[in-house]
Chains A and B, each alone.
Chain A
Amino acid sequence: MSLKKHILDLRKRREKVQLGGGEKAIEKQMAMGKMTARSRILALLDNESFTEYDLFVEHEARDFGMDKKQLHGDGVIIGTGTIYGAPVCIFAQDFTVAGGSLGLMHARKITKIMDHALKMRVPLIGINDSGGARIQEGVNSLAGYGEIFYRNTIASGVIPQISVILGPCAGGAVYSPALTDFVFVVDQISKMFITGPSVIKTVLGEEISMEELGGARVHAEITGNAHFFAGSEMECFEQIKKLITFIPWNNTQKARAFPPKEPKFKGNIEDIIPADPKQPYDVRDVIKAIVDDSDFFEIQEFFAPNIVIGFGRMNGQTTGFVANQPLVLAGVLDCDSSDKAARFIRYCNAFNIPIITLEDMPGYLPGVDQEHAGVIRHGAKVLYAYSEATVPKITVILRKAYGGGYIAMNSRHLGADFMFAWPMAEIAVMGPEGAANIIFKKEIEEAEDPDAMREEKVQEYIDRFANPYVAAAKGYIDSVIEPSETRHLLLHAIEVSSNKNDQRPYKKHGIPPF
C-alpha cells in the first residue's frame, strides 16, 4: 500500500509539471495559433517514442521575487525519441512557462541534451519559442546562451543539428539556430531578430511590425537564415521528418539507402531546354527528370532562387544537387547564391553525401552593389567549398559555362571526379557577343558594315569556342553525352565513386572566406 502511494505521488507530480504554465497559459498559446511544446514534440516524433528527462528541474534564482515562483521544467522540455526509427535528441522551449525565457537551469537542460546528442552521435532538434533571456537571472542567463552556442559549434559537422522556430527567437537566442545546419520557420508564427521593433522605434523612430522585420517570409526569402518555410506547424514537422530521411545520423555514416526507383518523368530530357540559349527554363525540371521517383527535396527555395540546392536519391542513395537556375537572374552567381551553394556543399561534404552539379550559368552578376557587397569574398566561398570537398563530385554542363562561373561550378580544375557536358554546352571565357567585341574590336570598327561584321565574328566565335569539344580535347570534360544518357551515367559515376579516398594534408582547419 505504501509503495502504491509513492507511485501515485509521482503520477500527480508528473501531471502537474507536464501542464507547463497551466491551463490559462496554454489557452493563450493556442489562441496565438501555436501548439504547446509538448504537443509539438509528440507530433514530430514517432508514436510513443518520446522519453523525457529533467522534468523536475527547478531554477535557483532568488532575486526579484523569483524565489517565490515555481517554473515547471524551467520552461523547456528535453528528451529522446525516434523519427521513422532514427534516434534523435530533442528540446522544446515552453512559452507557457515564463514566456519560455532562458535561465540557468533552462540552459543546463538544453546543454545536457546537446551533450547527449553529441556523445551518442545522433541528430539534435531544437524547437525555439522563447521571449529571450530571463532578465531576473542576469549574467547566468547569458552564460546559458554562450554554453549552447559553444556546443552548437563543437557539434557542427559531427551530428546534424536542426532548429525549428515556432515563436519568438530574439536577441542572443537567434545565434543558436544560426549555428545549426537547418532552420525551419512557419508563416505568421516564427519571429527572429537581434533587436525588436520597439528598440528600433525608440532609436530610429522607424515603425515596423515583427512580421515585416523578422517574420518567416523575411528569413526564407530575404536574409537566407531559414532553410524551410511552412504554412503550418504540422506541415513544418512533415518537412523535418522528410529531411531526416535524407541525412545520416552523424558524420561517420551514410544516409539510409532506400529502394531504387525510376524517375516519374517520361519524355525527352533535352526537350526541357529551349533551343535559344537566351531563353530560360526551370532547372528543377531537369533534376526531377534525373532523380529517383522524380522526388527532389529543395532547400532554401525562396532565398537566392538563381541557384537551386537540395536532396534527391540516385538508386536509393541520398545525393546533393547544386544547379544554376536560368529562370531567375539568368542563373548568375551573386553574393547570396554563392553563400547558399557554398554552405550546402560543405554540408554534403561533412555528411558523406555525393554532390551532383548541373551547370548553366553566364557568370557572376555584374553591378556596383554586388562588387561593394563583396561578391569577390562571397564568390570565393564556392571555389573553396568545392575544392575542399572530398565526397564524390560530378558535374553536368547543360548549356552555358562561362568565365569564372565555369571554374567555380565544380570544374575539373577544382577536383571534380567526373565532368559531363551535353552537346549544346558552351564553354568559354565569356558569351560569344562579348568575346567577339573584344577579340575583333578592330575588324568590327573598320568594317564598312560594323553590325554585319560583328554578327559574322560572333558566329565565328560560336563555331570555334561555344561548344564542349575544345574542353573535351584537353580532357577537362571527360565525356560529351546525350541528355538521355544523363541519369544512367550519373548512377554509374556515383557507383564507381563509392570508395573514393581523397587524402588531404593535415590541418587544424582551413581559412575559408567567411
Chain B
Amino acid sequence: MEDKKLELVDFAVTARKYKTLLTIKYATRKPYKAPDPKEIKSYIPGTIIDIKVKPGAKVKEGQILLILEAMKMMNKVLMPFDGKIKNIHVSKGEKIPKNHLMIELE
C-alpha cells in the first residue's frame, strides 16, 4: 500500500541485532519520559474555563487550580501537594489537547 522504504536497519531484540524493516507505527513512537510531579498536565482534552491561582501564589494540597471543561463536565484540577505556583501556561477560554502543560509548580 505505502511505498515501503526497503531499508533494513539493525534491530536489537535481546543481545542480538537483527536486520529488519520497521513499521511506521514503531518508527514514530514517542520515547518514554518520566512524568515530572511539578508539571500539571491535562489528562483529557478540553477548554480552560477558569484559573483560580496566580504565579507566585502559595497553594495548599487539594485547592482548586483551574477548571477544565471536557465532555460536558466541569473538571476541577487540584493542587497535588503544598507548594508554590511557578508558571501558568494556559489562559481562560483556551482549548488544549491531552497532556498539555497547564501549570508548573516550584
Contacts and interface: CB of A to CB of B under 8 A. Distances in A.
Q: Do A and B come from one complex?
A: yes
Interface stretch (A32-40, A76-84, A300-308): A300-308
B64 to A, nearest CB: 22
B15 A203 contact: no
Contacts of B26: 329
B19 interface: yes
Contact of A222 (B16, B25, B29): B25
B35 to A, nearest CB: 12
B14 A330 contact: no
Contacts of A366: 13-14
A363 B20 contact: no
B18 to A, nearest CB: 4
A330 B18 contact: yes
Interface in B1-54: 1-2, 8, 11, 13-26, 29-30, 32, 45-47
A449 B47 CA distance: 62
Nearest to B8: A280
A362 B16 contact: yes
A31 interface: no
Contact of B13 (A203, A330, A372, A437): A330
B25 A434 contact: no
Given A221-B2, A328-B22, A431 B32 contact: no
B92 interface: no
Contact of B16 (A217, A367, A432): A432
B23 A305 contact: yes
Given A220-B1, A280-B8, A328-B22, A203 B45 contact: yes
A332 B17 CA distance: 12
B13 A362 contact: yes
Interface in B41-72: 45-47, 70
B37 to A, nearest CB: 18
Contact of B95 (A203, A229, A302, A336): A203
Given A368-B32, A369-B29, A431-B15, A328 B23 contact: yes
Nearest to A200: B45
A408 to B, nearest CB: 14
Contacts, number: 87
A205 B47 CA distance: 10
A368 B47 CA distance: 30
Nearest to B97: A204
Nearest to B17: A278
A60 interface: no
A33 to B, nearest CB: 18
Nearest to A431: B16
Contacts of A402: 14
Contact of A306 (B15, B19, B23, B45): B23
A221 to B, nearest CB: 7
B14 A362 contact: yes
Nearest to B11: A330
Interface residues of B, number: 28
A217 B24 CA distance: 13
A434 B24 CA distance: 28
Given A203-B46, A217-B1, A220-B1, A327 B21 contact: yes
B45 A204 contact: yes
Interface string A308-345: 00000000000000000011111110001000000000
A477 interface: no
A165 interface: no
Nearest to B16: A431
A203 B13 CA distance: 40
Nearest to A403: B14
B14 A206 contact: no
Contact of A437 (B11, B15, B96): B15
A332 B25 contact: no
A429 B13 CA distance: 13
A430 interface: yes
A229 B1 contact: yes
B11 A221 contact: no
A204 B70 CA distance: 10
Contact of A329 (B11, B95, B97): B11
A328 B13 contact: no
A430 B1 contact: no
A329 B14 contact: no
Given A217-B1, A328-B23, A280 B18 contact: yes
A332 B22 CA distance: 11
Nearest to A220: B1
Contacts of A305: 23
A279 interface: yes
B20 A329 contact: yes
Interface of A: 203-206, 217, 220-222, 229, 278-280, 301-302, 304-306, 326-332, 336, 362-363, 365-369, 372, 402, 430-434, 437
Interface of B: 1-2, 8, 11, 13-26, 29-30, 32, 45-47, 70, 95-97
23 contacts: A203-B45, A203-B95, A205-B95, A217-B2, A221-B24, A221-B25, A278-B16, A278-B19, A280-B8, A304-B23, A305-B23, A306-B23, A326-B18, A326-B20, A329-B22, A330-B13, A331-B20, A332-B13, A362-B16, A431-B14, A431-B16, A433-B15, A437-B15
Given A204-B97, A280-B18, A329-B26, 8 more contacts: A204-B45, A220-B1, A326-B18, A327-B20, A329-B21, A330-B20, A332-B13, A430-B15
Considering the complex of A and B, which 4 residue pairs feature the smallest CB-CB distances, nearest first?
A433-B15, A368-B32, A434-B15, A330-B18
